[in-house]
Amino acid sequence: RHFTAGDVSWQLIGCSPGTAVQSTNPLSRKLNKILETRLDNDKDMLEALKALSAFFTENSLRSRRNLRGDIERRSLSINEEFVGIFKKVREELENINEDVQAMSSCCQDMTSRLKVVKLTKLIRLEIRAQVADAFLAKFQLTSDEMNILRGTREGPLTEDFFKVLGRVKQIHNDVKLLLRTNQQTAGLEIMEQMALLQETSYEQLYRWAQNECRTLTQESCDISPILAQAMDALQDRPVLYNYTLDEFGTARRSAVVRGFIDALTRGGPGGTPRPIEMHSHDPLRYVGDMLAWLHQATASEKEHLESLLKLVNIQGTVWRNVSVTGMSACHSLVRIEQVIIAEPGAVLLFKISNLLKFYHHTISAIVGTSASSLLTTIEEMHLLSKKIFFNSLSLHASKLLDKVELPPADLGPSSALNQTLTLLREVLVSHDSSVVPLDARQADFVQVLSCVLDPLLQMCTVSASNLGTADMATYMVNCLYMMKTTLALFEFTDKRLEMLQFQIEAHLDTLVNEQASYVLTRAGLSQIYSCVQQHKPEQGPLSNLPNLDSVSLKAAMVQFDRYLAAPDNLQMPQLNYFLSATVKEQIIKQSTELVCKAYSELYEAVMNPVNGYKDPTGILHRSPQQVQTLLS
């Protein structure tokens, strides 16, 4: 519904037009002013009223009172909407401004770059000139360098030659980079030129080094630094390098052969040291001097080769020259073989075997396994001497078993046993003092002991087979004791000592029983003790058995008292034959314990009322403790 101004005015004053009266109050004047207003010509008012009618739909007292607030809120909403629209407009304008700024920066950058390009054209021309000069300096030799390479055909080499040769090699390697570019034609020409220079230079270097090596035929040679540089450079040509090494090996082989022959026949300068051949009557020194000279020569040749190849990354194959040098002396080592075959005796053979083993280990530590010919020759001689040594021991052992000696009257070790143990002691002493590595010494020790001790034990067993129990045990203990005392001084004999001790204890048990039986028999208790042990309850009291009555027991106690008064008088004769006083004391002590045990069992049986003895303390007037005290 649309309201007119008149309707509004009459509603405000609360009366109808017909009843209106003239009033002079301010409200009336204000209403009259409003009523007199011409709305037809006031477009703004009309638009405002139209807008008001759009949201003022209910003409009520509440609506009229809230009209002002509603209008203000609507005005605020319209203003906020207006602000949002203009915000978007501002953002679009800012984006346009950024684009304009970017275009301006791009234009400035392009201008700067054009200036730089213009400036660098001049610089590039200068760089091209410098590159051309550097190219010639890098990939071409100077006239002085060419003269150095060409001037060595007749004269000696200098260090400058190797510097120029290294430069040629460097140019040849660097020119490969040109082949990856568009300068392939220039690269191929330079590479061909440098390759030709290298081949010519290496050929000259090889001939010079070959001539230098041919002069190294003295026992003591001086390797020049230039020759060492030449060997380092020749590594790039393996064929020429190996030819030069062969030439060096040939020269040194000649020097070693001549030096070894002089050492054998002439000796050192002025006759000191004396010629090795003058000691041929002493096999050990004769062999030792030859091996010592060979060891010294090997070490010297290694030093010469290291001096020659000090600039070379030495590989194992290079040491073949040491092998060739040592092999030249191998033919002269036939003298050692002749000494071994002559069989100078087991001890000397064993010492020579250890000496060969020591020098094999020492020389291999110097040159490794490269000197295979020399080391193989020494190893073969070591095995030969070792084989003949063990054959000698086996022959000695077989002779022991072929003719076994009877035990001596004193039941001590036989002469054959003493001789064999003396031989074994000499072998072990020489082995103990050798400088052979520990593991090799232990293996040899075990083999030597097996080769000698086993036949010895068998010989002693066969020799004692016809003796009585006590005599056999005494003889075996003495023999085993001699073996044990011989081995106790040396290393690696623990297992053998344990075995010998076990056998000794077995024979000692036999002797302890024999001594106890000897005492009980002569003290009159042997038969009584046997009956007590075999008695069973169903047989009745012991006192009813023959020889176990009170009278018999008292008579036996008289003999037993004599033993207690002088126990040393009842000892087997065999106890006087022992080589060890400790063994004798051990047998007496343990046999006494058995006697005390037997008396204790007899005492318990007599004191037992079941066995029917009257006045048992009168029969056995000593307790077991008293007997033990008397015998201790």
Report how far Cα 409 is from the mean position of its chain's Cα atoms: 60
Instruction: Write out 475-518 in H/E/C secondary structure.
Output: HHHHHHHHHHHHHCCCCCCHHHHHHHHHHHHHHHHHHHHHHHHH
Which residues make Cβ contacts (< 8 Å) with residue 59, sequence separation at least 6?
1, 3, 11
Please tell me the predicted confidence (pLDDT) of residue 320.
Answer: 58
CB neighbour list of residue 191: distance below 8 Å, 6 or more residues apart: 172, 175, 176, 179
Please, are residues 564 and 631 in contact by the beta-carbon 8 Å criterion? yes
**In b/e form, how buried is each residue of 279-290, taking b as 16+ CB within 10 angstroms?**
bbeebbebbbbb
- C-alpha–C-alpha distance, residues 479 and 420, integer Å: 12
Sign of the Cα torsion 93, 95, 96, 97 reads positive
Q: How far is CA 150 from CA 155, 156, 198, 208, in A?
A: 10, 12, 12, 14
d(CA 539, CA 533): 13
Interatomic CA distance for residues 414 and 402, integer angstroms:
15
| Spatial separation of the C-alpha atoms in residues 178 and 186, rounded to whole Å | 8
What CA–CA distance (Å, rounded) separates 484 from 471? 20
Give residue 9's pLDDT.
47
Phi, psi (rounded to 5 degrees) for 37: -70, 140
CA–CA distances in Å: residue 105 to residues 79, 112, 237: 39, 11, 65
- pLDDT mean values, one per 10 residues, the chain (632 residues): 46 47 71 75 76 74 78 85 90 90 91 87 86 80 82 72 86 80 78 86 89 84 87 89 88 86 82 84 89 88 86 63 59 83 86 88 78 80 90 87 86 90 87 66 80 90 90 93 90 88 93 91 85 80 80 86 86 89 91 90 86 82 87 81
Contacts of 561 (CB under 8 A, 6+ apart): none
| Residue pair 437/457 in contact by the 8 Å Cβ criterion | no
- Look up residue 305 and give its two tokens: 């080769």
Report d(CA 45, CA 55) in Å as an integer: 16
- Report yes or no: 141 and 164 within 8 Å, Cβ to Cβ: yes
Distance between CA atoms of 497 and 361, rounded to whole angstroms? 30
Please state the length of the chain. 632
Q: Is the dihedral of CA 601, 603, 604, 610 positive or negative?
A: positive
pLDDT at 154: 59
CA separation for the pair 483, 413 (Å, rounded): 10
At residue 437, the pLDDT reads 65
Which amino acid is residue 58, in one-letter code?
E
**Can you tell me which residue has the tokens 């684009």?**
99
- DSSP-derived 3-state class of residue 122: helix
For the record, the structure tokens of 147 come out as 């003269």
Count other C-beta atoms under 10 Å from residue 72's C-beta.
Answer: 10
Residue 411 belongs to what H/E stretch? none
Between CA 13 and CA 24 the distance in angstroms is: 14
468: left (phi over 0), alpha (psi -120 to 50) or beta: beta
- DSSP reduced 3-state for 53: helix
Assign 156 to helix, strand or coil.
coil
Task: For residues 383 and 378, give the distance between their C-alpha atoms in angstroms, rounded to a whole number.
Answer: 9
DSSP-derived letter for residue 403 is: S
The structure's pTM equals 0.64
Rounded Cα distance between 117 and 112, Å, is: 9
**What's 571-619 look like in SS3?**
CCHHHHHCCCHHHHHHHHHHHHHHHHHHHHHHHHHHHCHHHCCCCHHHH
Nearest-CA neighbor of 290 among 261, 252, 322, 251?
261
Rounded to whole angstroms, how far apart are CA atoms 298 and 301? 5
- At 480 the three-state DSSP class reads helix
Whole-angstrom distance between the N-terminal and C-terminal Cα of the chain? 151
Tokens of 528: 């009584």
For residue 99, the SS3 value is helix
pLDDT at position 485, please?
92
Q: Is residue 464 within 8 Å of residue 476, measured between CB atoms?
A: yes
